[in-house]
Chain A
Amino acid sequence: EVQLVESGGGLVQPGGSLKLSCSASGFTFNNYWMTWIRQAPGKGLDWVANIRKDGSDKYYADSVKGRFTISRDNAKNSVYLQMDSLRAEDTALYYCAADSSPNQGSAWYTTYDFWGQGTLVTVSS
């Protein structure tokens, strides 16, 4: 059974830090790009960051660039999101998602095949 389990969320003050973890099982982790996507309460989906299968490339949303760092440990089947200088607007449910990145000919696409249940981050004083 495929599982993605996020952890590490909680209440933090503005300017503080938090590190999220996502533990994967039931699929070949190092065959998937991994992505963090968040959703503020009652709002839509917001793409945050992703990391290549071998960790060699990382991409970030403009809103988190320079504050958040994505990393992965393929030996532990885990992906992480280090969040620094947190702001109230970072309050959200944070999902990790696995992307098999299928190709059609020479084109590659994003498919969030598996998702976790999310971990809630609340930034408030």
Chain B
Amino acid sequence: AIQMTQSPSSLSASVGDRVTITCRASQGIRNDCGWYQQKPGKAPKLLIYAASTLYSGVPSRFSGSGSGTDFTLTISSLQPEDFATYYCLQDYNYPHTFGQGTKLEIK
């Protein structure tokens, strides 16, 4: 199975900061990468698919990039509601696999 390695595993930042989370695939996955946000006690929500396509209704401060093995999720200006855990997902082949998560905390 393809492994998705996320970094960092945790991150402290302030409102208004620009933050970047990365995901590296253990083999090339074209642009078959998505990003999800999860808040405590809630189901995850889709942010980005196909590496860079913003899902409907997601604020434009979220963006994604990358192809092949390296992918990034960027939040251009952190808002209070963005403090959560973020996961990447590869859907290049089966079984689909998630990264281990990045917990974004308030500094």
Contact = CB atoms under 8 A, between A and B. Distances in A.
Interface of A: 44-47, 50, 59-62, 95, 97, 102, 104, 107, 109-113, 115-118
Contact of B96 (A110, A113, A116, A118): A110
A45 B91 contact: no
Interface stretch (B10-18, B49-57, B72-80): B49-57
B71 interface: no
A115 B98 CA distance: 16
A118 B101 contact: no
Nearest to B1: A62
B46 A44 contact: no
Interface in B62-107: 87, 89, 91, 94-101
B77 to A, nearest CB: 25
Contacts, number: 63
Q: Main secondary structure on chain A at its contact with chain B?
A: strand
A45 B98 contact: yes
A28 B15 CA distance: 39
Contacts of B31: 107
Contact of B95 (A45, A59, A102, A115): A59
Contacts of B36: 45, 112
Given A45-B98, A45-B101, A110 B43 contact: no
A107 B43 contact: no
A118 B46 contact: no
Given A44-B100, A47-B98, A60-B95, A112 B87 contact: no
A45 B34 CA distance: 13
